[in-house]
Amino acid sequence: MSPGQENNPLHGVTLEQIVTRLAAHYGWERLGEKIPLNCFLKEPSVKSSLKFLRKTPWARQKVESLYLHTRLRKDIA
């Protein structure tokens, strides 16, 4: 394990896993309400969301933050 990664709750979790789990948990419509991004609001898909999030660090941070918040509440695996 890389130094500093032992305390990173996202270590080993891919962005695809995060988006897939959030979409399964909330559904695209509710996910778009929580984080109003066009990739979640207009013809959402995992593929289009990943394409946008990989190019947009501020949006990716919001998605990762929601995932961590949801995971800490034990709502999501």
3 state SS of 5: coil
Res 6: pLDDT: 72
Q: Measured between alpha carbons, how far apart are the two ends of the chain, in Å?
A: 22
Res 20: pLDDT: 97
CATH number of 20-57: 1.10.720.30
Q: Tell me the pLDDT tens digit for each residue of 19-72.
A: 999 999 999 999 999 999 999 999 999 999 999 999 999 999 999 999 999 987
Model confidence, pTM: 0.85
Res 73: pLDDT: 79
